[in-house]
């Protein structure tokens, strides 16, 4: 096993469902990653297994109690040793591919899913990093934990085809080009002829041109970040100009 994720939540079934499908399920079955799910209530000591309480000082909503998280942490240290602890929170640093790649270098990542209005501040002593998956407020951190596990797993060697990860990082400043599969004709719509030509350089230039077009139109901010233009980039810009001039004639 190359990487262990351990998700701590009051809704373990959400994460258990996520584990059953697709690439993540496959990676677990192949023993490349492990996704452990812990019910925070199992780390309470009272009869009613209470995980939240009213905020000191008053105010709306409930606060997640500190002690169950500390009890989980003590258990984890004994069982596996020191993990890297992430707390899902809209106040965290925004999650992106770079962060996913960085997390994939760790062996043991624990994710605390927040709920209610927040978590008792004293839990921060055992949290290494707060991560947000975007500027919106979710009702809980479980979806964020799944997003983090999913995107991070892709960078663990063997989880997805290595070539596609390499290609993605090479093309990170451009959006994907369109793709087609059989049949050649669907409802009167055909496949661009170049893709059937067997001419690899022409195909590569066409794809890059389509990527550039899409990026310039939909995500000019990404295009502005693009630092280097290789031979294929330049050929595709030439091709793009030819196409524009032709269509204007």
The residues that touch ligand ADE, with contacts defined as CB under 6 A, are: 88-90, 114, 132-134, 136-138, 141, 144
- Confirm if 149 and 14 have CB atoms less than 8 A apart: no
Q: What minimum distance in Å lies between the beta carbon of 3 and ligand ADE? A: 20
**Residue placing its CB nearer to ligand ADE in the complex, 138 or 203:** 138
Q: What minimum distance in Å lies between the beta carbon of 188 and ligand ADE? A: 43
**Residue placing its CB nearer to ligand ADE in the complex, 80 or 116:** 116
Q: What minimum distance in Å lies between the beta carbon of 150 and ligand ADE? A: 14
User: In the chain, which ranges are E strands?
Assistant: 3-9, 33-39, 52-53, 63-64, 84-94, 108-113, 129-132, 185-186, 189-190
Cα separation, 5 vs 37, whole angstroms:
8
Query: Residue 209: helix, strand or coil by DSSP?
Result: helix
**Residue placing its CB nearer to ligand ADE in the complex, 35 or 145:** 145
Q: What minimum distance in Å lies between the beta carbon of 137 and ligand ADE? A: 5
Cα angle 173, 178, 182 (rounded to 5 degrees) comes to 150
Q: What minimum distance in Å lies between the beta carbon of 17 and ligand ADE? A: 18
CB-CB neighbours of 126 under 10 Å? 20
- Confirm if 133 and 88 have CB atoms less than 8 A apart: yes
**Residue placing its CB nearer to ligand ADE in the complex, 89 or 153:** 89
User: In 101-236, which ranges are E strands?
Assistant: 108-113, 129-132, 185-186, 189-190
**Residue placing its CB nearer to ligand ADE in the complex, 61 or 134:** 134
**Residue placing its CB nearer to ligand ADE in the complex, 93 or 184:** 93
Q: What minimum distance in Å lies between the beta carbon of 38 and ligand ADE? A: 18
Residue among 107, 114, 90 nearest 40 (CA):
114
């Amino acid at each position: 096993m190359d990487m262990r994720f351990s998700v701590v939540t009051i809704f373990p079934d959400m994460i258990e469902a996520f584990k059953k499908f697709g690439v993540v399920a496959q990676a677990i079955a192949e023993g490349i990653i492990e996704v452990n799910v812990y019910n925070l209530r199992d780390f309470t000591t009272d009869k009613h297994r209470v995980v939240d309480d009213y905020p000191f000082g008053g105010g709306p909503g409930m606060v997640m109690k500190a002690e169950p998280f500390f009890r989980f942490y003590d258990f984890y240290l004994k069982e596996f040793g020191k993990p890297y602890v992430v707390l899902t929170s809209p106040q965290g640093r925004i999650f992106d591919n770079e962060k996913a790649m960085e997390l994939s270098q760790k062996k043991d990542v624990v994710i605390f899913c927040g709920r209610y209005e927040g978590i008792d501040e004293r839990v921060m002593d055992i949290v290494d990093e707060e991560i947000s998956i975007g500027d919106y407020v979710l009702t809980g951190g479980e979806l964020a934990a799944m997003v983090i596990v999913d995107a991070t797993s892709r960078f663990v060697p063997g989880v997805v085809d290595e070539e596609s990860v390499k290609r993605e990082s090479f093309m990170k400043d451009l959006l994907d080009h369109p793709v087609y599969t059989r049949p050649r004709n669907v409802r009167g719509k055909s496949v661009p002829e170049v893709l059937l030509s067997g001419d690899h350089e022409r195909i590569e230039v066409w794809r890059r041109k389509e990527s550039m077009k899409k990026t310039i139109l939909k995500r000019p901010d990404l295009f502005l970040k693009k630092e280097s233009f290789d031979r294929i980039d330049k050929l595709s810009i030439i091709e793009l100009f030819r196409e524009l001039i032709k269509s204007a004639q």
